[in-house]
Copies of this chain bind each other. A is one copy, B any other.
Amino acid sequence: MINFDELKKDFRAVREKSPLVHNITNYVAMNFSANALLAAGASPVMAHAADEVADMATIAGALVINIGTLDAGWVESMVIAGKAKHAQGGVIVLDPVGAGATAYRTKTAWRIIEECHPDIIRGNASEIMALLNADIKSKGVDSSCSSHDAVESAVKLAERTGAVVVISGETDYITDGKRIETISNGSPMMPYVTAMGCTASSMVGAFAAVNPSNLLEASLHAMALMGVAGEIAAAKSAGPGSLLTNFVDTLYNITEEELAETVRQ
């Protein structure tokens, strides 16, 4: 169950502490994720050079690794950054975009899991299932099944990796392998905004940076903000173009009280 006081406290901390979130993310998501993080109060930085990622990762409150437009050079940087962040004891979020769509993506996601030990893994249902089962085929980067179908896989992935696992979808599931929490906010229009999932991963990074001692709760709170802001914004939006704009505005304007009152588990 969500603790409303803790939810409000985490969101307040993001706004007050403005944690630096180091994103090694995909080209499609960069602008939108940066704007969403800024609107929520965090301080995003995008950096991928092998020459600086260890430095950047270790000054940041959290490192978010997203393989959406990976290639060999970027993967090396992801691993360098992830190892440095893990050695420091800091928080790493992995978004295994498109795992299952190509063998290269599945393999790379596992390489990052094994070498960097991410603390949180957030994906859609197809991606989470693909990480555990070669028989599931993602359709590109969009999920081909509902989040509910992936709950069992999420629990297993959490057990196997020690990470908190987050599945986004109609209902969001957040689990550490023992507890399973849910968020039921959002809008069917949200998947029509590209990189909404990637932005959720970055938001999880921001909340984890201010609440590193309880990553299940931090992830739950970040997904609560994403779902609530998406729901409020979609109600004002004629389509996914306006949703993108209204989503950023909502993150900027929403109060802690409005967040706590609107969230549904």
Identify the A interface with B (CB < 8 A): 20, 22, 26-32, 34-35, 38-39, 43-52, 55-56, 59-60, 68-73, 77, 98, 101-105, 139-142, 191-195, 237-242, 244-253
Contact = CB atoms under 8 A, between A and B. Distances in A.
A57 to B, nearest CB: 10
A139 B43 contact: yes
Contacts of A141: 45
Given A20-B139, A49-B72, A102 B55 contact: yes
A142 B249 contact: no
A27 B30 CA distance: 7
Nearest to A29: B31
A51 B239 contact: no
B240 A38 contact: yes
Contact of A49 (B70, B192, B240, B253): B70
Given A70-B49, A139-B20, A192-B38, A239 B250 contact: yes
A35 B140 contact: no
B242 A249 contact: yes
B101 A193 contact: no
11 contacts: A22-B140, A28-B31, A31-B31, A35-B240, A35-B244, A39-B240, A45-B101, A51-B72, A55-B103, A55-B104, A238-B249
B39 A51 contact: no
A98 to B, nearest CB: 7
A140 B238 CA distance: 35
Contacts of A239: 39, 248-253
A241 B30 contact: no
Given A30-B27, A45-B140, A242 B240 contact: no
Contacts of A102: 47, 52, 55-56, 59
A104 B71 contact: no
Given A26-B46, A31-B31, A241-B252, 6 more contacts: A38-B191, A45-B98, A51-B72, A60-B140, A242-B249, A245-B245
